[in-house]
C-alpha cells in the first residue's frame, strides 16, 4: 500500500521508493570559546543585530542606567526576578525610588501582562546567535521575560557558553528552558515583520563588568 503524500514528495524530488538514501550530512565539531572579552563583544553585537539594545555596565552604573530606562520608556509598572544578584543590585528598591509600581513575579498572568518592564538574569548566553537561555524556578518565573512589553536581562560574563552542546549538558535536569533571541517577532502573510505581537516589543541586555 502506497502513501499518496509520500509519493507526491518523491515525485517533486525526482525520486522513487528504490532511490538510495543520501549520505548523512557531516556533524560539525562543537564550537570552541574564545577569550572572555571576545565572546562578550560577539554576544552583545549579535543582540544589537537582532534589534536588541545591549551595553556593558559596571554594577555602580546600574542605578543611572535604570533611571534612564524608566524615563525613556515611560515605565510605570515592573516585575523583577527574586534572585541574589538582582537583590544585591537593589533593583526593586531603585525602581520604587523612581515611583515605579512593583508587581510580584508570581502574580496572575493578566496582571503581569500589564507590566511595562520585566527584569531577569540569564543562566546561559550564546555569543554566536546573541541568545539568552533562561531556566525556570520559583524565584525565576518564565512570565517575567515573556509578558511585559520590555524585557531587561542583567547578565554576567560567566554565563557565556560556546554553544548549545554545553548548555544542554549543563541543563539536562531542568524542566524548562526559555531561549530568547531578540525581541518577539511576527510576520504576516505578506512577510511584514512586526515586533512585540506575541511577547516583549524590546529587549535590553546589560552585561555587568567583572
Instruction: Count the neighbouring beta carbons within 10 Å of the beta carbon of residue 142.
Output: 16
Instruction: Find, among 72, 73, 39, the residue nearest to 56 by Cα.
Output: 39
The per-residue pLDDT string of the chain (210 residues; one tens digit each, 9 = 90 and over) reads 678 898 888 889 888 888 888 888 888 888 888 999 999 999 999 999 999 999 999 999 999 999 999 999 999 999 999 999 999 999 999 999 999 999 999 999 999 999 999 999 999 999 999 999 999 888 899 999 999 999 999 999 999 999 999 999 999 888 789 999 988 767 666 667 676 666 788 999 999 997
> Which pLDDT score, from 0 to 100, does residue 52 have?
94
CA distance 145 to 117: 9
Give just the sign of the alpha carbon dihedral 193, 194, 200, 206.
Answer: positive
> Which pLDDT score, from 0 to 100, does residue 191 have?
67
> What domains are there in the chain, each with its CATH number?
34-208 (3.40.50.10420)
Amino acid at each position: 500500500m502506497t502513501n499518496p503524500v509520500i509519493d507526491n514528495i518523491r515525485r517533486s524530488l525526482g525520486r522513487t521508493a528504490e532511490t538510495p538514501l543520501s549520505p548523512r550530512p557531516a556533524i560539525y565539531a562543537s564550537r570552541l570559546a574564545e577569550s572572555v572579552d571576545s565572546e562578550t563583544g560577539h554576544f552583545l553585537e549579535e543582540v544589537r543585530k537582532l534589534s536588541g539594545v545591549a551595553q556593558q555596565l559596571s554594577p555602580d552604573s546600574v542605578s543611572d542606567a535604570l533611571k534612564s530606562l524608566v524615563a525613556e520608556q515611560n515605565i510605570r509598572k515592573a516585575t523583577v526576578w527574586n534572585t541574589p544578584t538582582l537583590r544585591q543590585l537593589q533593583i526593586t528598591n531603585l525602581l520604587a525610588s523612581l515611583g515605579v509600581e512593583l508587581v510580584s513575579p508570581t502574580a496572575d498572568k493578566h496582571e503581569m501582562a500589564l507590566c511595562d518592564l520585566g527584569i531577569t538574569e540569564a543562566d546561559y548566553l550564546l555569543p554566536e546567535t546573541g541568545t539568552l537561555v533562561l531556566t525556570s524556578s520559583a524565584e525565576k518565573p518564565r512570565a517575567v521575560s515573556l509578558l511585559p512589553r520590555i524585557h531587561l536581562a542583567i547578565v554576567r560574563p560567566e554565563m557565556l557558553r560556546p554553544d548549545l552542546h554545553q548548555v544542554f549538558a549543563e541543563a539536562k535536569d531542568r524542566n524548562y528552558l526559555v531561549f530568547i533571541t531578540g525581541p518577539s517577532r511576527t510576520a504576516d502573510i505578506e512577510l511584514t515583520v512586526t515586533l512585540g505581537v506575541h511577547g516583549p516589543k524590546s529587549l535590553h541586555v546589560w552585561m555587568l563588568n567583572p
